[in-house]
Structures are given as C-alpha cells and as structure tokens.
C-alpha cells in the first residue's frame, strides 16, 4: 500500500494500515507534519464539529469581506473550479443540507477521543491534555449565539456535556478573562494535542515498525499498470495495489490527469505561539465572535484563527496576525503577551459541503482519498485512519463514513 502525504491524516492512515499487517510506503513531498498539521490549534473538539457552510454564513462573510482583519476572506477568482465550488458551498449553507452534515460530523467526532486513546494504546506518543474548552461571551448576541449552539448540538444528537456558565464561574476557571465577560459555555469531553507532536510520534512509530517513510519525495503522477498503480516520484517510483491520497489541498492535482475532478479549496489560517507567561491563560478558550482559538500547551500558548478562502501562498499577513493578538488581548487584558511570537500559516483543505472526503475514488479502482478535513483534521485524523484502513483492507462498507464518501462530489472520468 502507498500513502501520499505525511500530515496527521496520511500518517494515521499509514499507521492503521501497518497495524493491520499491510506493507506500507509513505511519500511526503516535504517533511512529515510540516504543512497544515504543524501550527494549528490542536483541538480534538466535538463541540466545534460543524460544517463550515451553514445558515447565516454567507451574510456574515459579506460583512467580514469589508473588514480587512476579519476572520473570513475570499480571494476573488473567476476560475471555473472556484465558481463551481462557491455555487456548491452556497447550496450547502441551506438548513437541511447543513443539518445533515452536522449530524454526520457529530457522530464521527463523538468517536474522535476514543480513536486517540486507541492510538496511544498502540504506543504512539504525543502531547495530550484532556480538559474542557471554554467559550466566553463578551456581548449579548455572542451569549445568545452560544446558547443556540448548545441547543443545535443537542438537536443533532450530541451527548457531549455542554455546561452553561455564569461570568463568575468562567472567571473562577480562567482568572485572566476580562471583567467584561457576560457568561458562556464549558464544553467537557474535549481534549487538545500539541499538533507538532502527533505527526512526530506517528513518524517515529512507523520507522520503528519498519515502514518506509520517504521525505522530500513528491509524488508527481499516478499511473495504472494492469491491476496495480505506479506511483512516480523523483525519489523513486513504486507499485502498489492500493493508494491512499492524503495530500491535503494538493490531492486534486493527483486526480486531475485521470479526468477526476475533486472540488476542494484552500483555506489559509494563521497562528502565533507565545512563550508561557504567568499572566497568560491556563485554559483552552474559543472566542466566538472573532473566531479565535487559544490553546495552552506545554511550554507555549498558541493563538490561531482566520479562514482565507482560495489563498494560494503561505505568506504571513501582518494585519491578520495583529488581529489575532488584538482579539486575544481584548479577552485577556491582563496577559502580558511576550513580544516576538512564532508565526505560522497553514492551508486547510475545504470541500464545498464542509465534510471530509474519506473512501474510494469512483472510477479509479484501488485509489482512496483521505482529505478535506477543513477545521477538523486533527480531531478526525485517527478515526479517519482507523476507518479507512478497514475499507481498504476488508473492502468494508462503513455506515458512519458514508456521509464522507468522495462519490458525493467527484466528477468521474468519462
């Protein structure tokens, strides 16, 4: 078996396949874990397992478009692929479509924590914190939004413990919160992993098990050779009867030569990682209005957010980075944020319905996809690996994963 892409998703797929006794080779064009899986917030978060498209998102996006430091920005593009993507995204904002996606993501995210436990039980080492995620509100509309969020998650079948908290209760949990906090929500049953530590732990374990992990080995082409696939790379070509494409936003370019169109867009985000300071936060916080995540890890606090749709380059925007700092400082005014944070940008891969693509590619026997995880690639990486390995090895049909079947969206070869 060959896995293309050494991010969290590809390495989890490789680990799960190797665990089932398959001979696996991983091709990674750069270093494992150096792309989207590096500087993100690292949350394993059932409470935020909602599709990006949803009711109200288009109106909110239009409002944010005029705010250069707002949390969402769409790069103007008249390409046929992008216009098609946007048309599909708009359809996915309709309440019934959004609701179906929400239910599917909630069902999957409920199994995300146990999938991390299973990974740890198989000896994979990574930094993990099992602690609630706090959603403080600083305005009445934000507080109402959080109340509606809890109701919507419950209606979608979430059994997660979501607790409404008063301002005092929140401040006793996180004393550095501004006195302007009005109340909020604590999402229990959440955890976060230091994202850099997950691919690193998987990589170590794969090497230890004798898996070939080829770094600086970009796959340039997939070619059919009888019943097998020839995976071509300047680092050496190999054949396999099954291929998993987990190449993030680049996945579509490997399918295009076969006439398979995969609607996927890049959605850039940023993070700033600060040295720890005693005045800083102790808890993971999500600031709903600016859509900013604050993650406390061993030896660092990370502030992350922003979704730049259709972004092409990983350039760092000083304005957007400053907006992250400003949002964190408003919520935590006493935090003496150290100067010179470590800045980072990464590309999420986003399908128009906001759901990942996990499963076989129609028309290309033996080729499977594991991408499009958008804001949930860390949350769902171990579960994706587990379920995908069962599909590849046993040909198992997976009811839980059926909502993520690539067949719902790909344009098939003629």
23 lines the binding site for ligand FAD (CB under 6 A): no
Q: Which stretch binds ligand FAD (CB under 6 A): 7-15, 152-160, 177-185, 315-323?
A: 7-15
* 306, 309, 311, 317: CA torsion to nearest 10: -20
Site string for ligand FAD, 208-227 (x = CB under 6 A): ----------xx--------
Classified as helix, coil or strand, 152 is helix
406 binds ligand FAD (CB under 6 A): no
List binders of ligand FAD among 160-219 (CB under 6 A).
Answer: 218-219
Work out how close the CB of 168 gets to ligand FAD at its nearest, in angstroms, rounded to a whole number: 28
CA 205 – CA 211 distance, rounded (Å)? 9
DSSP class of residue 66 equals T
- Between the CA of residue 341 and those of 68, 97, 344, what are the distances in Å? 22, 40, 10
7 binds ligand FAD (CB under 6 A): yes
Whether 81 contacts 45, CB under 8 Å: no
DSSP string over 268-297: EEEEEEE---TTS-SSEEEETTTTEEEEEE
- Between residues 234 and 338, which has the closer beta carbon with respect to ligand FAD? 234
Determine the Cα–Cα distance for residues 400 and 104; give it in Å rounded to an integer. Answer: 7
Q: Does 28 contact ligand FAD by CB under 6 A?
A: yes
Alpha carbon distance, N-terminus to C-terminus of the chain? 27
Residue nearest to ligand FAD (CB): 377
Question: Which CB atom, from 167 or from 284, has the smaller least distance to ligand FAD?
Answer: 284
| Burial tier of 293 (Cβ tally within 10 Å: 0-12, 13-18, 19+) | buried
Interacting residues with ligand FAD between 121 and 160 (CB under 6 A): none
Q: What is the DSSP letter of 407?
A: G
Q: By C-beta, is 177 or 219 nearer to ligand FAD?
A: 219
Query: Which residue of 17, 378, 388, 389 would you call a contact of ligand FAD, by CB under 6 A?
Result: 378
Judged by CB under 6 A, does residue 371 bind ligand FAD?
A: yes
CB atoms under 10 Å from CB of 179, counted, come to 8
Residue (31 or 180) nearer to ligand FAD, CB: 31
Strands 133-137 and 72-74, how do they pair? Answer: unpaired
Residue 125 burial by CB count (10 A; 0-12/13-18/19+): exposed, middle or buried?
middle
Choose the binding region for ligand FAD from 4-12, 62-70, 156-164, 181-189 (rule: CB under 6 A).
4-12
CB closer to ligand FAD, 167 vs 245: 245
Q: Which is nearer to ligand FAD, 182 or 409 (CB)?
A: 409
Q: How many CA atoms lie within 13 A of 224 on its CB side?
A: 10
SS3 62: helix
Q: Is 352 in the site for ligand FAD (CB under 6 A)?
A: no
Binding positions for ligand FAD, 66-105, rule CB under 6 A: none
Residue 246 contacts ligand FAD per CB under 6 A: yes
How far is residue 165's CA from residue 182's CA, in Å, rounded to a whole number?
Answer: 9
Q: Is 304 in the site for ligand FAD (CB under 6 A)?
A: yes
Q: Which of 50, 92, 158, 375 binds ligand FAD (CB under 6 A)?
A: 375
Least distance (Å) from ligand FAD to the CB of residue 376? Answer: 4
Give 3-state DSSP helix, strand, coil % of the chain, rounded to 5: 35, 25, 40
Instruction: Return all residues near 38 (Cβ < 8 A) that are at least 6 apart.
Output: 195, 196, 199, 344, 346
Q: Decide if residue 324 touches ligand FAD (CB under 6 A).
A: no
Shortest Å distance, C-beta 372 to ligand FAD: 8
Binding residues with ligand FAD: total (CB under 6 A): 40
Which of 167, 274 has the CB closer to ligand FAD? 274
CA distances from 262 to 208, 220, 273, 348, 363 (A): 34, 17, 33, 15, 13
Looking at 71, 101, 184, 269, which residue binds ligand FAD (CB under 6 A)?
Answer: 269
Cβ 303 to ligand FAD shortest distance, Å: 10
Stretch that binds ligand FAD, among 24-32, 60-68, 103-111, 318-326 (CB under 6 A): 24-32
Residues contacting residue 202 through CB under 8 Å, at least 6 positions apart: 8, 11, 12, 14, 15, 32, 124
Q: Show the site string, 274-293: x = touches ligand FAD by CB under 6 A, - = not.
A: -------------------x
Chain contacts with ligand FAD (rule: CB under 6 A):
4-10, 27-30, 34-37, 40-43, 45, 218-219, 246-248, 250, 269-271, 293, 304, 346, 348, 371, 373, 375-379
């Amino acid at each position: 078996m060959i896995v293309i892409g050494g991010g969290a998703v590809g390495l989890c797929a490789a680990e799960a396949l190797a665990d089932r006794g398959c001979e696996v080779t991983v091709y990674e064009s750069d270093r494992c874990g150096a792309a989207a899986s590096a500087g993100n917030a690292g949350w394993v978060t059932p409470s935020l397992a909602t599709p990006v498209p949803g009711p109200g998102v288009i109106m909110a996006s239009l409002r944010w478009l005029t705010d250069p430091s707002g949390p969402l920005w769409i790069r103007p593009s008249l390409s046929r692929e992008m216009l098609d993507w946007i048309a599909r995204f708009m359809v996915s904002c309709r309440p019934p479509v959004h609701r179906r996606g929400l239910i599917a993501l909630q069902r999957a995210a409920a199994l995300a924590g146990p999938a991390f436990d299973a990974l740890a039980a198989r000896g994979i080492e990574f930094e993990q914190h099992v602690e609630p995620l706090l959603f403080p509100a600083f305005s009445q509309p934000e507080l109402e939004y959080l109340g509606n969020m809890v109701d919507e998650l419950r209606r979608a079948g979430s059994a997660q413990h979501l607790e409404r908290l008063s301002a005092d209760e929140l401040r006793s949990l996180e004393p550095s919160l501004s006195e302007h906090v009005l109340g909020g929500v604590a999402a229990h049953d959440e955890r976060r992993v230091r994202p850099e530590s997950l691919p690193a732990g998987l990589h170590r374990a794969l090497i230890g098990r004798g898996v070939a992990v080829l770094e600086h080995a970009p796959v340039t082409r997939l070619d059919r050779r009888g019943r097998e696939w020839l995976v071509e790379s300047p680092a050496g070509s190999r054949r396999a009867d099954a291929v998993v494409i987990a190449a993030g936003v680049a996945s579509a370019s490997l399918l295009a030569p076969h006439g398979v169109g995969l609607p996927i867009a890049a959605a850039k985000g940023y993070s700033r990682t600060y040295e720890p300071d005693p005045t800083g936060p102790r808890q993971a916080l999500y600031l709903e209005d600016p859509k900013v995540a604050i993650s406390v890890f061993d030896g660092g606090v990370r502030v992350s957010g922003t979704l730049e749709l259709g972004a092409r380059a990983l350039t760092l925007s000083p304005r957007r980075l400053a907006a992250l700092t400003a949002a964190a400082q408003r919520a935590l005014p006493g935090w003496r944020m150290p100067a010179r944070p470590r800045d980072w940008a990464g590309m999420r891969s986003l399908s128009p319905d906001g759901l990942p693509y996990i499963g076989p590619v129609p028309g290309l026997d033996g080729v499977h996809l594991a991408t499009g995880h958008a804001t949930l690639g860390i949350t769902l990486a171990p579960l994706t690996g587990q379920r995908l390995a069962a599909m590849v090895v046993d040909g198992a049909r997976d009811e839980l994963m059926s909502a993520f079947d690539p067949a719902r969206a790909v344009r098939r070869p003629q």
